[in-house]
Structure 1
Amino acid sequence: MDYRVIKENDVFLLTDEKGNIPENHSYGAGLYTKDTRFLSKLDLRINGEEPILLNSEAQNAYMASILLTNPHMEKDGDLILWRESVELERKRFIANDVVYEKIRAKNYFPKPVTFTVNLHFDCDFQDMFVVRGFQHGDVGKRTGQSVTDNEMRFHYEGADEIQRTTLISWDQTAQTVSDAGYLDFTCTLGHEESQEIVLTIAPILNGEEPTILPFDVALEQVKESYRAWNEGVTKVKTDHPRLQRLLDQGITDLRVLLTDLGYGSFPVAGLPWFAVPFGRDSLIAALQMLPFQPEVAKGTIRTMAAYQGTKRDPWRDEEPGKIMHELRSGELANTKQVPFSPYYGTIDATPLYLMLIVEYVKWTGDTTLLEELDSSIEAALRWIDKFGDRDGDGFVEYYQEAAKGIANQGWKDSGDSIVHRNGDYAKTPIALAEVQGYVYQAKTGLAELYEGLNRIDLARKLSEEAQQLSERFEQAFWMEDVGFYAIALDQEKKQVGTITSNPGHLLFSNMLSKERAKQVSDQLVSNKLFSGYGIRTMAEGEAGYNPMSYHDGSVWPHDNSIILLGMGRLGHHEQANRVINGLIDSASSFEYDRLPELFCGYEKGERAVKYPVACSPQAWAAGTPLVFIQTILGLEPNVPKGKIFFSPSLPDGMKELTVENMKVGKGTISLTLKKKGQQTQLDVMSNTTGLDVQCASVISQG
């Protein structure tokens, strides 16, 4: 990556590898909150010259550590500063919506030296859509800046009547402070002496200033929050080092991506572009996290319910009961120049919302959430049947109404992603295969839960609707000539027959017959769809296939993860383990062994090929290694029915897996998997759930 990004709650800082915010940075570097760039320039120099990068690290994504040194400096034959004689270390993190940075300068020259640390700041207060070059519009204006001996403020009055201010403060005496944003510190240091400068940068909206704490106190607060997070999540230990690194990185990244808008913590989609609530992304990431921290699912569900559609608004593709796609809170959204306040142009978020509710209740037994969200669930079901099925054919389809909205409204939302086998793009309304599976899974799951709550009529109605959908789907989507399902039906109800990964999501729904599910699994790991590093979004040889594309041949870890959930649930261990091993092999190609949002779909080589602008960390990519564990366990809890089912299978290269303190229902369960010849033995070390443990393999109770 040619950037470094750190985040905490709703604030993130994106810089280059040296820790600076240069103008015209390819990723739009800056300090952001509420979809506004509160700092657009941050330049650190030594004696006016750019330092040399030694090391740059932000593996934890909540703290960055950057090591720099000086170039050689002479003037008219006189030595100013010998090369590499001064070490500059930058450490930064975010706490309570404030960026803290400590700059430590240390002299390694044999004699005392004097030099200047120069800083230059500027703020453009641009909306995220403007920064990314997607939109322009009527915006506000800078209203000046003010400086004192230890702070500078930049002010902006938005077109949305919000007053925005960037406050920069420091703890050492500065030799130069300029209202143009320049700040200079003179350092005189003997051999191995050092000096520290602490900066704080705070975005302020409408004068609500944050509390700025001492650096060490603020840092301890952040570290304590991560200690608490690590203590609260399920612990996994494996004898597979690469999987362990991948899993540990994913758990840390998911903590970084958590945000709370007042309804509980939920994962934003990813950094740097999507540090906001996303319907499908947040819901799928929360689903992936259920075995590790089920409370995140509850916060995600409540957040989505809070922004559920209430009216017809074509400008935002809003309809009653619909779950949002994306929420933005910048100047353009606030003034309705873009329809993202929130925007509802997604066909799958609503059934995914219901799916997550079902899976959460099965995991926790928290039926009170069903009661709390009764009207929301009813509205979502009504949307599926009325607005989702716009032509009454029994399938949920999408059609863009918002002029500045999204044309393709499934997870493959690029303009070229739904393409016929002859290369023609499908025309809307479009009914996607996986969305029908989500609807089926939501309705069958709710029917089961409602039956347990003695709401028999509603349970029967939902069950019958799901069965009818399954029968219609089989007739309309199955392609006998290729032994696979179409990705979609177009506006004329013709099959979009391109072979893609989308039907793989149906495995998780339990919608398919045993025979058809096996055919789908086998096709997904065939040479055409499986790259060796993961399942491609589109099969090699199709008219639209392009391994470098966003959705037409690339590999998306989260896409693979939903398929894996289905393979694990159905006991397709051979196929699942092949996918898991491929994704593990891919991780070594990426910084910190971190799975990115996507990567290119070329055949397996020495390294997986990076996609140029993939987000990293990305929530549902970070959640994918967590799904590996659930799939390996073949884990399917059903607390309302009083049982936990396991169908375990350890992949090649792993002989033992230990899971400790996994929250299920009102207790926890700890267990170990061990290879015993050709079988996998499940040893239950402790079980305080009160649930019956069932296993499709060898089991022993500790």
Structure 2
Amino acid sequence: MDPAATAALYSTHVLKDGDSFLVANGYGDVEEGSTGLFRDDTRLLSMFRLRLGDTQPALLSAAVTADNVFFLAHMTNRQLPPLGETAAAAHGLIHLLRARFLFEERLFERITLMNYGTNAFMAPLRLEVAADFRDMFEVRGQVRPARGKLLDAEALMGPNGVIFRYEGLDQVVRKSAIAFSQPASSVEGGTFEFLLQLVPGVEQSLFIEVGSEPGGPMPSRERHRDAAAKARKRMRSRGRRGGRVRSSGPLFDAWMQRSRADLALLTSELETGPYPYAGIPWFSTPFGRDAVITALQTLWLDPGIARGVLGFLAAHQAQEESSFLDSAPGKIMHETRRGEMSALRELPFGRYYGGVDTTPLFVMLAGAYARRTGDAAFVDALWPALIAATGWIERVCDANRDGFLDYARGENTGLSNQGWKDSEDSVFHADGRFPKGPIALVEVQGYAYAAFRAMAELAELRRDEAGMQVWAGRAARMQAAVEAKFWMEDQGFYGIAMDGDGALCGVRSSNPGHLLFCGLPNAARAASVAQRLMQNDFHTGWGLRTLASGQARYNPMSYHNGSIWPHDTALCAAGIARYGHRAAAVELLRSAFETAVHFDMRLPELFCGFRRVQGAPPIAYPVACMPQAWAAGAPFMLLQACLGVEIDGMRGEIHVERPHLPDGIDEVRLHDVALGGERIDLLFRRVGERVGMFVEGKGAGAPAVRLRS
């Protein structure tokens, strides 16, 4: 196989709509590995392979459109033998276009062939289809002791399609219906062959639809066009939500627009509002931590995401104790799954609460949302959920000898580590030993501190003087305990965790950068942490490693022990900027932008933490999700850190403190920034060695904008 064909075979292209998503290779085929059409954590299409005769067409190009709606693969034929009375088709005479999209949980595909030769040809178009109905965790490698049974396929209008059926161990019959716009010339098992007469200059099209149920009328050009127009209109509407970024740099704008389009793709419209699903393929479902951090990243431009996330998480807050689910009253959900394995409780992830950080992050987000919008009515509606969440935090802290928020999984089926670095080997002592639980992570204490601060502010807003004093006091005690127990004076840095014996895991990781984001450290210690994070053992030139080189268990190819996660780098940058070190945030934004250039303007979930080498690209992590919500949100948090923009919806003010522009960018415009019921446009422009800020268009001359240089 030639190099281009090999690259296409192993590249992946994704589409998503609601709870359905599709992963296919560069040819548009589904045939192995993690490719497939999935809905509700179940693979509905495990084989969808196109051939012309016995050969795979030659790929010319493949891409997903900039708005993430359509996948397009342009191909041409290889040598085809004569069929019947028609001549043989030499290589390169037939143009084949696969165009597909997802809409209303259905896959729509159009296969178009055009003969650019001078003779008529007979083209044997073959489609091989199958559905294995495997649970997402099986696709990821989980081995089940038993599975349900594949039932006999049902005919769907004879040669016009097929319905695959599977009866799971949960007694649910799952279906996958495939329909064609014209009958196949022959059907053998799951292979449908269409003999198409290709007259020179005359286009031939086959329309296909795939869904969990038959779609009513058979596929047609009209159905395809109507659904395509609606899909594009809906995605355009999502992409227009919130404020927009424009700059003097076309490539920088392409990065921002790609990130915005990825967020629109990953965001599903739930009953409680917009909710960003975590990532494709492994995490295309509501996650708590990921969604909260994505909402924090985009809050300054689009508070609607935060409102949707808060509403959903409050509606799914734990009400009972369960060691299997790691749940307790008031706790906020970690993830939810809808597949067969979760339904049967083979795994706890149907609705799982094994995240120690999601609950304080939820309270943090509520406080940040209130400050950003001044939406007191929504806070009032959330108040019972916030009281319950804070109550859980308080109970866990009160049970810890030092007042820390710690974790220990309830059962072996759950996650052993329950912070954002949730792999089994991500928390350890300086000598590499794994700690005894319960474990208190340093950044989680920052989240708890910020949650108590948020509750104190919200209590003040509600004129609850007693509550304000209680939560402010808890925040102060948490701050003092962290400074006393986690600080490593000899290293000028915070350790990663305290173990169950009260011993510090004296490891230098990126976690303390999140502590800066929460505003817990004093200025001197924050400056020391910022300085250390920007040194070569952390900063690779592409971003910040999750673990400093030279530490025990450091591995730049690992998941959490030396790799680079863009959302982690963005949180650290925001924390560093919070303490006034804005030039470092500019450097980290530049690194992230230059990384995105090598990944088709899309930041992956993570990539390897090798040191940057001149002329060489960053090294991909093989099974990283892309797109991933908090990776797509990272550019917006990094830009906010550089510009120094804070929006105070309670007072109706926008504060800008010592703004910096990204390297090579002389202007950045923020369009339609919401402030109360108004929309404001802001222009940041480089003027000599300084950056000026101007109000333009809507809101021009508004006294609500404050600049501190």
| Aligned match of 1:93 | 101
C-alpha distance in structure 1 between counterparts of 2:36 and 2:315, whole Å: 30
1:473 matched to 2:482: yes
SS at match of 1:403: coil
Kindly state the Cα deviation for residue 693 of structure 1 after the two structures are TM-superposed.
2.1
CA deviations 1:442-492 (Å, max 9, x no partner) are 111221122122111111111010001000110000000000111111121
SS at match of 1:532: coil
Alignment partner of 1:255 out of 249, 264, 271: 264
Kindly state the Cα deviation for residue 75 of structure 1 after the two structures are TM-superposed.
8.0
CA contact (8 A) 2:396 2:406 kept: no
CA contact (8 A) 1:101 1:199 kept: yes
Kindly state the Cα deviation for residue 328 of structure 1 after the two structures are TM-superposed.
0.5
SS at match of 1:379: helix
C-alpha distance in structure 1 between counterparts of 2:143 and 2:450, whole Å: 38
CA contact (8 A) 2:583 2:642 kept: no
| Aligned match of 2:118 | 110
CA deviations 1:157-192 (Å, max 9, x no partner) are 2222322111111212321245x2222211111223
Kindly state the Cα deviation for residue 571 of structure 1 after the two structures are TM-superposed.
2.4
1:534 matched to 2:543: yes
Q: Which amino acid aligns with 2:103?
A: A
CA contact (8 A) 2:299 2:372 kept: yes
CA contact (8 A) 1:137 1:337 kept: no
| Aligned match of 1:340 | 349
C-alpha distance in structure 2 between counterparts of 1:58 and 1:370, whole Å: 39
C-alpha distance in structure 1 between counterparts of 2:703 and 2:332, whole Å: 33
Kindly state the Cα deviation for residue 388 of structure 1 after the two structures are TM-superposed.
5.6
| Aligned match of 2:684 | 673
Alignment partner of 1:119 out of 103, 123, 127: 127
Pairwise CA RMSD:
2.0
Kindly state the Cα deviation for residue 193 of structure 1 after the two structures are TM-superposed.
2.1
1:518 matched to 2:530: no
| Aligned match of 1:655 | 666
CA contact (8 A) 1:569 1:636 kept: no
CA contact (8 A) 2:69 2:235 kept: no
C-alpha distance in structure 2 between counterparts of 1:390 and 1:132, whole Å: 37
| Aligned match of 1:700 | none
C-alpha distance in structure 1 between counterparts of 2:163 and 2:195, whole Å: 22
| Aligned match of 1:317 | 326
Q: After superposition, where does 1:316-465 map in structure 2 within 5 Å?
A: 316-387=325-396, 390-465=399-474
Alignment partner of 2:209 out of 193, 196, 200: 200
1:166 matched to 2:176: yes
1:73 matched to 2:99: no
618 and 184 in structure 1: CA distance in 2 versus 1, 3 angstrom threshold: same
C-alpha distance in structure 1 between counterparts of 2:161 and 2:401, whole Å: 63
Q: Single out whichever of 330-339 and 211-220 deviates more from structure 2.
A: 211-220
Kindly state the Cα deviation for residue 686 of structure 1 after the two structures are TM-superposed.
4.8
| Aligned match of 1:694 | 706
Instruction: Tell me the matched-pair count.
Output: 689
Alignment partner of 1:63 out of 67, 70, 73: 70
**Which runs of 5 or more residues in structure 1 are unaligned?**
698-702
Q: Which amino acid aligns with 1:676?
A: V
Kindly state the Cα deviation for residue 379 of structure 1 after the two structures are TM-superposed.
0.8
SS at match of 1:527: coil
C-alpha distance in structure 2 between counterparts of 1:138 and 1:367, whole Å: 52
1:227 matched to 2:236: yes
CA contact (8 A) 2:69 2:232 kept: no
Kindly state the Cα deviation for residue 399 of structure 1 after the two structures are TM-superposed.
0.6
CA contact (8 A) 2:654 2:704 kept: yes
C-alpha distance in structure 2 between counterparts of 1:293 and 1:63, whole Å: 25
CA contact (8 A) 2:135 2:341 kept: yes
Identity of aligned residues (%): 35
Q: Single out whichever of 545-554 and 130-139 deviates more from structure 2.
A: 130-139
C-alpha distance in structure 1 between counterparts of 2:304 and 2:652, whole Å: 20
CA contact (8 A) 1:321 1:380 kept: yes
Alignment partner of 2:628 out of 608, 614, 618: 618
1:136 matched to 2:154: no
Q: Single out whichever of 390-399 and 481-490 deviates more from structure 2.
A: 390-399
CA contact (8 A) 2:327 2:354 kept: yes
CA deviations 1:492-522 (Å, max 9, x no partner) are 1111111111000111211111111111111
| Aligned match of 1:47 | 53
CA contact (8 A) 1:139 1:331 kept: no
C-alpha distance in structure 2 between counterparts of 1:209 and 1:330, whole Å: 26
C-alpha distance in structure 2 between counterparts of 1:413 and 1:691, whole Å: 46
SS at match of 1:401: coil
137 and 644 in structure 1: CA distance in 2 versus 1, 3 angstrom threshold: farther
CA contact (8 A) 2:170 2:340 kept: yes
SS at match of 2:598: coil
Kindly state the Cα deviation for residue 32 of structure 1 after the two structures are TM-superposed.
0.4
Question: If the length of structure 2 is used for normalisation, what is the TM-score?
Answer: 0.94
SS at match of 1:610: coil
| Aligned match of 2:3 | none
CA contact (8 A) 2:402 2:481 kept: no
145 and 366 in structure 1: CA distance in 2 versus 1, 3 angstrom threshold: same
CA contact (8 A) 1:41 1:122 kept: yes
CA deviations 1:69-106 (Å, max 9, x no partner) are 22223489x97321122111100000111100000011
Kindly state the Cα deviation for residue 137 of structure 1 after the two structures are TM-superposed.
4.3
CA deviations 1:232-273 (Å, max 9, x no partner) are 331211123332121111000000001234221100110011
Q: Which amino acid aligns with 1:118?
A: R
Alignment partner of 1:600 out of 595, 605, 608: 608
C-alpha distance in structure 2 between counterparts of 1:258 and 1:371, whole Å: 25
Q: Which amino acid aligns with 2:51?
A: R
Alignment partner of 2:42 out of 24, 30, 36: 36
Kindly state the Cα deviation for residue 2 of structure 1 after the two structures are TM-superposed.
1.9
